[in-house]
A and B are shown apart, each in its own frame.
Chain A
Amino acid sequence: MQHVSTLRRWQRQVRRDRWLYLMLLPGVIYFLIYKYLPMWGVVISFQNYSPGLGLFQSEWVGLKHFERLFSEPTFWMLFRNTILLSVYQLIFFFPIPIVLALMLNELTQQAFKRFVQTVIYIPHFVSWVVIAGISYLFLTPEGGFVNELLGLLGQDKVNFLMSTEWFRTLQVTQVIWKEAGWGTIIFLAALAGVDTQLYEAARIDGANRWRQLWHITLPALRSTIVILFILRMGDIMEQGVEHILLLLNAVNREVGEVFDTYVYTVGLLQGNFSYSAAVGLFKSLVGLILVVAANYLAKKSGEEGVF
């Protein structure tokens, strides 16, 4: 009896909200077709996939490709390079949009503020190819601006583009140049939501600018920062493949090769579809674990998580 009545109630609810469900339908179908269906593609990482044979005829090999990945001499190099680049970005890149947003927030001249915002958004729309080209012109030892300057100062020329020492600096700097301004948007939005009465009250209590920043603005941003940090953890194994491919060469490969470029090389250039799918799946798993862990920790410390 109980069961039947639950079913009834459910039916009644569906009938009542049928228009809402109908409106939901396109979204659900979109996710099913474009997000969930393609996920079946990961099965090829457990096969020796051959496009000629297709998904259903290819031979199943279990975890062979994963075993190969972990026993590959390059595995730890890839792991180290990927994680290091992400950690450097977390340390050097992640705080910059926050600081920028706080500085913009302090501007009182609205026209000037908007002008600065527009200017710092622009690099986001410049493609990596152009950025690599600009860097090349600045840094080449054959008449590049920076090296000419070093020469004038009596210093030795530095081959920035072909060195293991400068690769990470170069990569992180380029990311900062391109994305720092764009990254402020979400923080500025959060700041716009702060109740101005709080500032008034603080001023009456005698708080100066720094105190207001410390006790009102930063706490208001805290949950945004935490959420972005959690999302960032999910991307820890990701590096812009196009960006890195443009910077890679024979000399800096030992510090520059990351999982994403490795997938490109073994998958697209050497045609090992299954193996590269296995690498990709491993990468995603690590990302997922990190997101869940970061989310758990955030909730533990009283913050709102992503899910």
Chain B
Amino acid sequence: MLTPIQMRTKTKWKRTLVASGLVAGLSSILIVAGCASDTEGNAGSGKEGDASHTEAASNQQGASEESTKARGSISVAIYDRGNIPADEGTIENNRWTRYMNENGPVDVKYVAIPRFDSIAKYNTLFASSSAPDLIFEYDSNYRDQLYQQKQLLPIDDELLKTYAPDYYDYLEQYPLMRKIGTKEDGQLYELGAVGTMLPNHVLFIRKDWLDALHLPIPQTTEELFQTAKAFAEQDPDGNGKDDTYGFSLSFVSGMMLDYMFGNVFTIYEKYPWYIQEDELVHDWERSAAAVSYKKRIYDEGLVDKDFLTDTKGEKAKQDWVNGKLGIYGANGGFNDVTMYEALMNVNPDAEIVPIALPESEFGQFSPALTTPIRKTAAINASAKDPGAVLEYVNFLIQPETTTTLSFGIEGEHFERKENGCPIAINPEKRKQEMGYQGDMNMLNWRDVQNPECFGVTAYLNPDMSSLSEAAAGLAKLRVDGYALYVNKETPLPLYTMMDYMPSMPQDLQMLNTNALNAIQDIWVKAIIGGTSYTVDQAVADAKAAWDRAGGERVDDWYKQWYQENKETAILTEDIYSLTGN
């Protein structure tokens, strides 16, 4: 939707064009240019965008009253996880997108973004100037990249007050939210929500296998190795065949081994800087220890040797569900009811428990947790109508919207318990009709709005009666899991969570990404390299690659950032007291 000013500019352009009588092909370039200069006005500063928008609003109000402002029209990103049932429609058009259009303040066109290929998709859309107005993306690095490339709109306070007053109030109430959404230039770019820190990655073990082999739960890295060895070699499922793996190196399982050694150099996160004696230093020993360990279990044949082709952990998950894998790192393990259900169907006698990460020489750590105060959204710099985008944001954070997107329609999908908390009427129906739209709710403040029904309280006191058998089984495990993982004694090995990390200048960031990717390849080669490529050699090669790329500049930058910001930055030790945990 164009504001009158933009319309005027555009018609003027068109007139110039007609007058100059250029050939058809050339003119289309100029029209594009006209549009680009329009959006530039908005992108340049929030104030300007705001001014034109307000003017537009007042123009349209004209003689009539305030409430008759024309309905805005925006586009919004939605993750596509490929899990929508066929009779529910598509991820871009289903009962919930229609609900949002019928009940929300603006017309919304949803743009599907493949969940695990989101960056390539976003970049394609941005390059062709067709990215959605409201961007949802979990990856802080990527949002940061967009900021560096000036593709995000600074969100002005006046604009917020006018179009998203409730979000503005939250910012006043939770200054940390504003702080983490503010970039180096002092302006607010990212939107998010205050939530709760809960387990995310879960290390599961087959308790029935441990019992069958009379083994205790492994407490140290060495015990874990022995357990994995026993699982792989002593036929824990008793089928007389040598067809079990002890562990897995792919995706989250591999990350578990890294975190165990306090090594934040995984396939997903590469932040090998740690606070040591009041300095933020680049450490190589943790990586070396983790790589040696992986190499050892690889050489012993305790894992599927094809882990490199299993980058998303699908094969490992399949082995786990089919009862071929004894220890497994599960992504969002306590929420993955499908996984649990499938596992119990195939192996009715299976008993799984979450275990703490075994202790290593670097200490004991927790696997990845959810971010308590998180950033999930930003506005595209070329959004035509930032006001309308914020109106949608304001609608999203309303308790009613959040409840609907979490539980569905009252009376149809959920009813209320005595304490007023929603409870699903029919878990099957809920799974069918609500199992796919969770990502519409990435901007929910329900833990804050309704701590009785959401957040830690609800997490630790699941209402078993409303859950399917599998979901109830899994919910029982999460209570133990919470105690194991969310505590300051076994902290996250990261110096801080990704959402709270500073953003590097663009040239450093590129250097950093390329060098760390090259080093990642070196680690992998060391794991599968047998005797011909030792870990010591790999460490030497990795350090050389880092130096050659100019990595010292990155190390210095981190060091300096830490010295300048250690008092005010949110560091890992602070995270545990941020919210109601």
Closest chain-A Cβ to B141's Cβ sits at a distance in Å of: 10
Contact check, B43 vs A52: say whether CB atoms are below 8 A apart: yes
Of B33, B127, B308, B548, which is in contact with the most chain A CB atoms at under 10 Å from its CB? Answer: B127
Known: A250-B520, A270-B513, A271-B123. A141 touches B37 (CB 8 A): no
Q: Please report the C-alpha to C-alpha distance between residue A273 and residue B309 in the assembled complex, in whole angstroms.
A: 28
Identify the closest chain A residue to B23 (Cβ).
A32
Q: Please report the C-alpha to C-alpha distance between residue A273 and residue B149 in the assembled complex, in whole angstroms.
A: 10
B226 sits at the interface (CB 8 A): no
Q: Please report the C-alpha to C-alpha distance between residue A50 and residue B146 in the assembled complex, in whole angstroms.
A: 10
Q: Which of A50, A55, A267 interacts with B33 by CB under 8 Å?
A: A55
Contact check, A271 vs B29: say whether CB atoms are below 8 A apart: no
Within 8 A of A (CB), among B517-541: 520-521, 524-525, 528
Q: Please report the C-alpha to C-alpha distance between residue A111 and residue B29 in the assembled complex, in whole angstroms.
A: 55
Identify the closest chain B residue to A48 (Cβ).
B149
Contact check, B36 vs A56: say whether CB atoms are below 8 A apart: yes
- The number of inter-chain residue pairs (CB within 8 angstroms) is 101
Contact check, A54 vs B37: say whether CB atoms are below 8 A apart: yes
Q: Please report the C-alpha to C-alpha distance between residue A237 and residue B400 in the assembled complex, in whole angstroms.
A: 57
Q: Which of B146, B306, B548 interacts with A161 by CB under 8 Å?
A: B306
Contact check, A54 vs B528: say whether CB atoms are below 8 A apart: no
Known: A73-B548, A162-B528, A251-B528. A54 touches B36 (CB 8 A): yes
B40 sits at the interface (CB 8 A): yes
Q: Please report the C-alpha to C-alpha distance between residue A273 and residue B127 in the assembled complex, in whole angstroms.
A: 7
Identify the closest chain A residue to B33 (Cβ).
A56
Contact check, B29 vs A40: say whether CB atoms are below 8 A apart: yes
Chain B residues with CB under 8 Å of A53's CB are 36, 40, 43, 150
Contact check, A270 vs B129: say whether CB atoms are below 8 A apart: no
Encoded as 1 (CB less than 8 Å from any A CB) or 0, chain B from 121 to 151 comes to 0011011110100000000000001100111
Identify the closest chain B residue to A164 (Cβ).
B525
Identify the closest chain A residue to B119 (Cβ).
A269
Number of interface residues of B (CB under 8 A): 40
Chain A residues with CB under 8 Å of B39's CB are 52, 54
Contact check, B29 vs A50: say whether CB atoms are below 8 A apart: no
Contact check, B150 vs A272: say whether CB atoms are below 8 A apart: no
B32 sits at the interface (CB 8 A): yes
Contact check, B151 vs A52: say whether CB atoms are below 8 A apart: yes
Contact check, B145 vs A249: say whether CB atoms are below 8 A apart: no
Contact check, A250 vs B524: say whether CB atoms are below 8 A apart: yes
Closest chain-B Cβ to A162's Cβ sits at a distance in Å of: 6
Closest chain-B Cβ to A151's Cβ sits at a distance in Å of: 14
Encoded as 1 (CB less than 8 Å from any B CB) or 0, chain A from 183 to 211 comes to 00000000000000000000000000000
Contact check, B149 vs A50: say whether CB atoms are below 8 A apart: yes
Contact check, B524 vs A251: say whether CB atoms are below 8 A apart: yes
B510 sits at the interface (CB 8 A): yes
Q: Which of A51, A56, A159 interacts with B129 by CB under 8 Å?
A: A51
Q: Please report the C-alpha to C-alpha distance between residue A125 and residue B25 in the assembled complex, in whole angstroms.
A: 36
Closest chain-B Cβ to A43's Cβ sits at a distance in Å of: 11
Identify the closest chain A residue to B521 (Cβ).
A250
Contact check, A141 vs B306: say whether CB atoms are below 8 A apart: yes
B431 sits at the interface (CB 8 A): no
Interface size class of A (residues with CB under 8 A): 35 or more
Contact check, A50 vs B150: say whether CB atoms are below 8 A apart: yes
For the complex, would chain A's binding face be called helix, strand, loop or mixed by DSSP majority?
helix
Chain B residues with CB under 8 Å of A37's CB are 25, 28-29
Identify the closest chain A residue to B308 (Cβ).
A249
B475 sits at the interface (CB 8 A): no
B305 sits at the interface (CB 8 A): yes
Q: Please report the C-alpha to C-alpha distance between residue A143 and residue B528 in the assembled complex, in whole angstroms.
A: 18
Known: A51-B127, A159-B305. A270 touches B36 (CB 8 A): no
Contact check, A270 vs B145: say whether CB atoms are below 8 A apart: yes
Q: Please report the C-alpha to C-alpha distance between residue A281 and residue B11 in the assembled complex, in whole angstroms.
A: 36
Q: Please report the C-alpha to C-alpha distance between residue A160 and residue B145 in the assembled complex, in whole angstroms.
A: 36
Closest chain-B Cβ to A108's Cβ sits at a distance in Å of: 46
Contact check, A33 vs B129: say whether CB atoms are below 8 A apart: no
Contact check, B33 vs A54: say whether CB atoms are below 8 A apart: yes
Within 8 A of B (CB), among A21-63: 29, 32-33, 36-37, 40, 50-57
Contact check, A268 vs B120: say whether CB atoms are below 8 A apart: yes
B382 sits at the interface (CB 8 A): yes
Q: Please report the C-alpha to C-alpha distance between residue A136 and residue B25 in the assembled complex, in whole angstroms.
A: 48
Q: Which of A54, A57, A142, A267 interacts with B306 by CB under 8 Å?
A: A142
Contact check, B36 vs A162: say whether CB atoms are below 8 A apart: no
A253 sits at the interface (CB 8 A): yes
Identify the closest chain B residue to A132 (Cβ).
B309
A212 sits at the interface (CB 8 A): no
A140 sits at the interface (CB 8 A): yes
Q: Please report the C-alpha to C-alpha distance between residue A14 and residue B458 in the assembled complex, in whole angstroms.
A: 82
Chain B residues with CB under 8 Å of A268's CB are 119-120, 123-124
Q: Which of A136, A253, A271 interacts with B126 by CB under 8 Å?
A: A271
Closest chain-A Cβ to B484's Cβ sits at a distance in Å of: 32
Contact check, A250 vs B33: say whether CB atoms are below 8 A apart: no
Contact check, A52 vs B381: say whether CB atoms are below 8 A apart: yes
Q: Please report the C-alpha to C-alpha distance between residue A251 and residue B309 in the assembled complex, in whole angstroms.
A: 11
Q: Please report the C-alpha to C-alpha distance between residue A249 and residue B523 in the assembled complex, in whole angstroms.
A: 13
Of A73, A141, A270, which is in contact with the most chain B CB atoms at under 10 Å from its CB? Answer: A270
Q: Please report the C-alpha to C-alpha distance between residue A142 and residue B242 in the assembled complex, in whole angstroms.
A: 13
Chain B residues with CB under 8 Å of A270's CB are 145, 510, 513
B391 sits at the interface (CB 8 A): no
Q: Please report the C-alpha to C-alpha distance between residue A228 and residue B456 in the assembled complex, in whole angstroms.
A: 68
Encoded as 1 (CB less than 8 Å from any A CB) or 0, chain B from 23 to 47 comes to 0010011001100110110010000
Q: Please report the C-alpha to C-alpha distance between residue A73 and residue B39 in the assembled complex, in whole angstroms.
A: 38
Contact check, A159 vs B528: say whether CB atoms are below 8 A apart: yes
Within 8 A of B (CB), among A61-97: 73
B80 sits at the interface (CB 8 A): no
Chain B residues with CB under 8 Å of A33's CB are 25
Contact check, A249 vs B37: say whether CB atoms are below 8 A apart: no
Chain B residues with CB under 8 Å of A251's CB are 308, 521, 524-525, 528
Q: Please report the C-alpha to C-alpha distance between residue A270 and residue B39 in the assembled complex, in whole angstroms.
A: 23
Chain B residues with CB under 8 Å of A141's CB are 305-306
Known: A37-B25, A249-B309, A251-B524. A56 touches B120 (CB 8 A): no
Identify the closest chain A residue to B529 (Cβ).
A251
Chain A residues with CB under 8 Å of B524's CB are 249-251
| 25 pairs, CB–CB < 8 Å, chain A vs chain B | A33-B25, A40-B29, A50-B151, A51-B129, A51-B131, A52-B149, A52-B151, A53-B43, A54-B37, A55-B32, A55-B33, A56-B33, A56-B37, A57-B40, A140-B306, A141-B305, A159-B305, A162-B528, A249-B308, A249-B309, A250-B521, A250-B525, A269-B119, A271-B123, A273-B127
19 A-B pairs besides A54-B36, A269-B123 with CB distance below 8 A are A32-B25, A40-B29, A51-B127, A52-B40, A52-B150, A54-B32, A54-B37, A54-B40, A56-B36, A57-B36, A57-B37, A57-B40, A162-B528, A249-B308, A270-B145, A271-B123, A271-B145, A271-B146, A273-B123
| Cβ-closest 7 pairs across A and B | A54-B36, A250-B524, A52-B381, A250-B521, A268-B120, A249-B308, A52-B151
Interface residues in chain A, defined as those with a beta carbon under 8 Å from any beta carbon in chain B: 29, 32-33, 36-37, 40, 50-57, 73, 136, 140-142, 159, 161-162, 249-251, 253-254, 264, 267-273
Interface residues in chain B, defined as those with a beta carbon under 8 Å from any beta carbon in chain A: 25, 28-29, 32-33, 36-37, 39-40, 43, 119-120, 123-124, 126-129, 131, 145-146, 149-151, 304-306, 308-309, 381-382, 510, 513, 520-521, 524-525, 528, 548-549
